[in-house]
Amino acid sequence: MDSPVAVARAAVPSVVFLRAEIPARHPSAAILGEERIGVGVAVGADRVLTAHYLVLGAAHVQCTGVDGRPRNVDRVTLDHETGLALLALGGPVLRPATLGQGEDSSPGRPVFILTLDASRERKGATGHISSVGPFEAFWEYMLDRAIMTTAINPGLAGAPLFDAAGRLIGVVSLGLAAVGRYSLAIPVELYRRRQQELEKGEPGGPPRAWTGIYPQGTDGSVVLSGVVPEGPADRAGLARGDLVLSVDGASVSSLAELYRAMWRRRPGETLSFRILRDGALRVVEVVAGDRNVFYR
């Protein structure tokens, strides 16, 4: 491992291995699989933070510390908006990581990833923060501030991102080597803001409208690459290949514009999608769903 040895050694006890089992009937199983392995980081003696898709829909989660001792996972709280999950544990206590602050995540600062691979061997990599800014993804997900780094994750997702002082500043969610940014981390400050709700087993913030679309933004337009089976958009008749022109009368030419227009609504409210399909203009009314309920 090429990260500073002393800092990495101090951070190692906070890293845990996760294995989740998901029922075949769960809506996420078809895309993400029925078995998922990843990594989490202790943010308390009996609390672990990880990427939410690793444990989405899990009927059982196995958590093992670097000491090889298993811990019971008593509760999983998902936060779809941030992309984080908080696990409440039973069993031997963990040594929590020291949480960083937002100002610890400025561009140019050195960082290191500490993770495990599928065989639970420790892996690490160093790099720098290349940028901190907006990030939009195709599953109705957007962050105002995501951490982009030059460090390539050498192991499993959900890994902690530390600064040079060993402070936890993010949770590695995605590898972005294809677009030259290498790794994306969700800032730990988002966990800090929602910690009280997550500790109660509740997702933070008011519920947003969710439609179950997979939009792709290219060249100033937004096209649907698919829809979630049995989701609100699927039931309303939106389909792969639809070009989205506007939502509730607001023109959209990017994922950010699309999501901002959609998130003005709440679950149960109707969104009006103006689309182009097969050369014909159409209006499709979609009754927004609640992602927390759909993926429960």
> What radius of gyration do the chain's Cα atoms show?
20
Handedness of CA 176, 232, 227, 24 (dihedral sign): positive
Which run of H or of E encompasses 256?
helix 255-262
Mean pLDDT over all residues of the chain?
93
Question: What pLDDT was estimated at residue 3?
Answer: 45
Q: Angle at Cα 91 formed by Cα 85 and Cα 96, nearest 5°?
A: 55
Q: What is the DSSP string of 48-85?
A: EEEEGGGTTT-SEEEEEETTS-EEEEEEEEEETTTTEE
**CATH of the structural domain 213-294, one choice from 2.30.42.10, 3.30.70.420, 3.40.50.970, 2.40.40.20:** 2.30.42.10
- CATH 2.30.42.10: which residues of the chain? 213-294
pTM of the model: 0.93
Contact 97, 14 (CB under 8 A): yes
pLDDT tens-digit series, residues 93-129: 999 999 998 777 899 999 999 999 999 999 999 999 9
Q: For strands 15-21 and 221-227, give the pairing.
A: unpaired
**Structural fold of domain 5-90:** Thrombin, subunit H (2.40.10)
The burial of 263, by beta-carbon neighbours within 10 Å (0-12 exposed, 13-18 middle, 19 or more buried), is given as middle
Contact 243, 276 (CB under 8 A): yes
pLDDT tens-digit series, residues 252-266: 999 999 999 999 999
Check residue 204 and report its DSSP letter. S
Question: What pLDDT was estimated at residue 177?
Answer: 58
Handedness of CA 242, 245, 249, 252 (dihedral sign): positive
pLDDT tens-digit series, residues 150-194: 999 999 999 999 999 999 999 999 866 555 557 899 999 999 999
Is CATH 2.40.10.10 what the domain over 98-192 is classified as, yes or no? yes
- CATH 2.40.10.10: which residues of the chain? 5-90, 98-192
Q: Angle at Cα 193 formed by Cα 188 and Cα 198, nearest 5°?
A: 90
